[in-house]
Amino acid sequence: MEEDEFFGEETFQHYCAEFIKHSQKIGDGWEWRTSKDCSDGYMCKTQFQIKNGTAVSHRGTSAHVQTCLPMEEALEPPLDDFEVMQTTTATEVIKYEYHVLYSCSYQVPVLYFRASFLDGSPLALKDIWEGVHECYKTRLLHGPWDTITQQEHPILGQPFFVLHPCKTNEFMTPVLKNSQKINRNVNYITSWLSMVGPAVGLNLPLSYARAAFQDEGNVDRQGSSIEPKSLEEL
């Protein structure tokens, strides 16, 4: 993506299509949804986490709730059924829904999410703030309403939390400039989501970054850009 390229909705959907294509390869659960009432769509994923922030995946659930564990936990042997049952009954499991939409006002992607316990009761904004990653808490303490707010989902019309997009251009511009400087291909959605997602418990596997580099290699070999599947085909 060129430094001065206009990040319109078509560009947004292009990067989402590439992102979802890789997600399908690794079973990471991201998908594209459209509204019955309009042509607008969004990228979404559902996952479950225990209250202390560790992502969990239950046997019998779909790939849509599987996520990448932190490295030290990924190296531990997998739990058997009895241990999983003990873990989930001894702690509070939270269901997170993550939605990535395009903001026409800010002309950038926006992360909407909501969280609830397994009995359906939603988490309060205070609980969401308390669960923010330590790296982000300093900024949150100085201005929580500039970071996480509760708004109506622009497509679903339901209450969601949202990471405010007012600073997105500010922190993404150096990323795009650096990638252009070293002539390296980047997926805007991958770069952006890897920076904002951890604030609310959403971590991306490293293979997303490797996929962008592989696409770059394919472009060099083929002498032309790769055309990802359309969102309708995905």
Per residue of the chain (234 residues), what is the pLDDT tens digit? Answer: 544 445 899 999 999 999 999 999 999 999 999 987 777 899 999 999 887 656 654 333 443 333 333 333 333 444 444 444 445 544 589 999 999 999 999 999 999 999 999 999 999 888 887 777 777 777 666 665 568 888 999 999 999 999 989 889 888 999 999 988 888 888 999 999 998 998 888 999 999 988 866 655 443 433 333 344 456 555
| Residue 43 host element (H or E) | strand 41-50
Residue 72: per-residue pLDDT: 36
Rounded Cα distance between 71 and 86, Å, is: 22
Taken in order of first residue, the domains within the chain and their CATH numbers are 9-51+91-212 (3.30.1460)
* Angle, CA of 66, 232 and 151, to the nearest 5°: 60
The token pair that represents 103 in the structure block: 């903001």
Residue 160: per-residue pLDDT: 96
Of 193, 204, 188, 138, the C-alpha closest to 15 is 188
Query: Active-site residues: which are they?
Result: 166
Rounded Cα distance between 20 and 11, Å, is: 14
- The total of other beta-carbon atoms located within 10 Å of residue 161's CB is 20
Contact 51, 18 (CB under 8 A): no
The token pair that represents 149 in the structure block: 């707010």
The token pair that represents 63 in the structure block: 């790939």
At 29, phi and psi to the nearest 5?
90, 0
Residue 184: per-residue pLDDT: 83
Q: What ranges in the chain are assigned the alpha helix state H?
A: 9-26, 71-74, 81-90, 125-130, 134-142, 168-181, 188-196, 207-222
List 149's β-bridge partners, or say none: 162
DSSP SS3 for 26: helix
Q: What is the pTM of this model?
A: 0.75
